Structure 1
Amino acid sequence: MRALSRPLARHRRLIAAFLAATAVACALLSVRQPSGVAVLAAARDLSGGRVSAQDVTVVRLPPEAVPDGAFDERASVVGRVLSGPVRRGELLTDARLLGRGFLSTLGSGLVATPVRLADADAATLLSPGDVVDVLAAFGQEAAPQAVTVARQVTVVTRPAAGAVEGALLVLATTSEQATALARAQSASRLSVTIHPR
């Protein structure tokens, strides 16, 4: 028995060092960076409007699961405007944010035109893709006249909830409609009628 314990006693330090190194290696493996490609997703349900740093989180996906136009840096999305509501966990891509990538999907001859509705609550009835007519109410008398300024234009984005001084919409319009809307905004209050889908 003593003959067996002597070699173990001699190598006790060597065995202890080996076990300590094994423990360190296991600890390093447990804290290593998770695998996959880092991309940005919505940290919570977003109703639209401008993206803040708190609105986004990093998720990791296999390379083959990363869609075209995905973002991997917060600076690329913070301050940009969403094209519509986004669910928690949904990936943020160039198709979900206003900009060159999104505007290219509007169609030939169309531009993104911001218009402010007089009634902010009316904007809560709208969703991206809705088709509306824009009306302008002119005059200060008790019964102002309303005229249609733009017909059958598509809602691109609506504002986030909580707007107090009217609601800023973005519409896909022709250049001529954009000019008419700009003229009407300077001298009237705007509202919309919604076409059935």
Structure 2
Amino acid sequence: MRALSRRLARHRRLIAASLAAICVACALLSVRPPPGVAVVTAARDLPGGRLSAADVTVVRLPPEAVPDGAFDERASIVGGVLSGPVRRGELLTDVRLLGRGFLAALGSGLVATPVRIADADAATLLSPGDVVDVLASFGQETAQAVTVAREVAIVTRPVTGTIEGALLILATTSEQALALARAQSASRLSVTVHPR
């Protein structure tokens, strides 16, 4: 027993240094970020519109679960505009925001076209992905309605409307966008919804 005590006394500094190194290693492991890739998700259910810092949070996912276009930090997405409602915890990617990635996801030859329809209440019945025809009504008395754009998809709808109507974003061709712009300047627009 005394021999063991003498041996421990001789190696006391080495043992102390080893224990200190183990403590430092444990401390470093405890502050190291958890494994996985950082991605931005919705912090709560969001109706759409401009994102604030309180709307998003960062979680970590296995690398194989991270889709293309995912954002890895909150600062890169705050201020962006959601193309539609999202659920709490939903992963946010470039195609969920209005912008270059979003337009690429619409498909070749399509553009995002803002259109104000006269009936704001009717817009609340629409959802992204609905397919509509856009009608224009010219004149006040004996107004006739004509179809301006056929079978265009709703990309986003407003959370609320105003007395001037409600703004929709539609996926249209360039020709349809021109026809809609001409019709908006001289008529009231409405939509009919195609069955799903």
Q: TM-score range by the shorter chain?
A: 0.7 to 0.9
Match of 2:177, as an amino acid? A
Q: Distance in 1 between matches of 2:108 and 2:24?
A: 61
Q: After the TM superposition, which of the residue ranges 175-184 and 76-85 deviates more from structure 2?
A: 76-85
Q: List gaps (5 residues or longer) in structure 2.
A: none
Q: Distance in 2 between matches of 1:82 and 1:116?
A: 18
Matched with 2:166 is: 167
Q: Distance in 2 between matches of 1:78 and 1:22?
A: 41
Match of 1:137, as an amino acid? S
Superimposed CA distance per residue, residues 100-128 of structure 1 (whole angstroms, 9 cap, x where no aligned partner): 22212323322111111222222221112
Q: After the TM superposition, which of the residue ranges 50-59 and 37-46 deviates more from structure 2?
A: 50-59
The number of residues matched between the two structures is: 194
Cα pair 1:49 1:158 within 8 Å, conserved: no
Matched with 2:192 is: 193
Matched with 2:147 is: 148
Off by >6 Å, runs of 4+ in structure 1: 13-21
Match of 2:93, as an amino acid? T
Query: Alpha-carbon deviation of 1:26?
Result: 3.9
TM-score normalised by structure 1 residue count: 0.81
Cα pair 1:39 1:70 within 8 Å, conserved: yes
Superimposed CA distance per residue, residues 1-34 of structure 1 (whole angstroms, 9 cap, x where no aligned partner): 9x79x97xx79x9788977776565444333322
Distance 1:27 1:105, change over 3 A: closer
Distance 1:148 1:88, change over 3 A: same
Q: Identity percentage over the alignment? A: 81
Q: Distance in 1 between matches of 2:118 and 2:184?
A: 10
Matched with 2:137 is: 137
Q: After the TM superposition, which of the residue ranges 28-37 and 113-122 deviates more from structure 2?
A: 28-37
Matched with 2:80 is: 80
Please, what is the CA RMSD of the aligned residues?
2.8
Q: Distance in 1 between matches of 2:62 and 2:98?
A: 27
What pairs up with 1:1-80 in 2 under 5 angstroms?
26-80=26-80
Query: Alpha-carbon deviation of 1:57?
Result: 0.7
Superimposed CA distance per residue, residues 31-65 of structure 1 (whole angstroms, 9 cap, x where no aligned partner): 33222211111111112222222211101112222
Superimposed CA distance per residue, residues 70-127 of structure 1 (whole angstroms, 9 cap, x where no aligned partner): 1113333223222222111111112222222221232332211111122222222111
TM-score normalised by structure 2 residue count: 0.81
Match of 2:160, as an amino acid? G
Cα pair 1:42 1:57 within 8 Å, conserved: yes
Q: Distance in 2 between matches of 1:76 and 1:29?
A: 28
Q: Distance in 2 between matches of 1:17 and 1:153?
A: 72
Distance 1:76 1:193, change over 3 A: same
Query: Alpha-carbon deviation of 1:133?
Result: 0.9
Q: Distance in 1 between matches of 2:69 and 2:104?
A: 13
Q: List gaps (5 residues or longer) in structure 1.
A: none
Q: Distance in 2 between matches of 1:105 and 1:24?
A: 49
Match of 1:78, as an amino acid? V
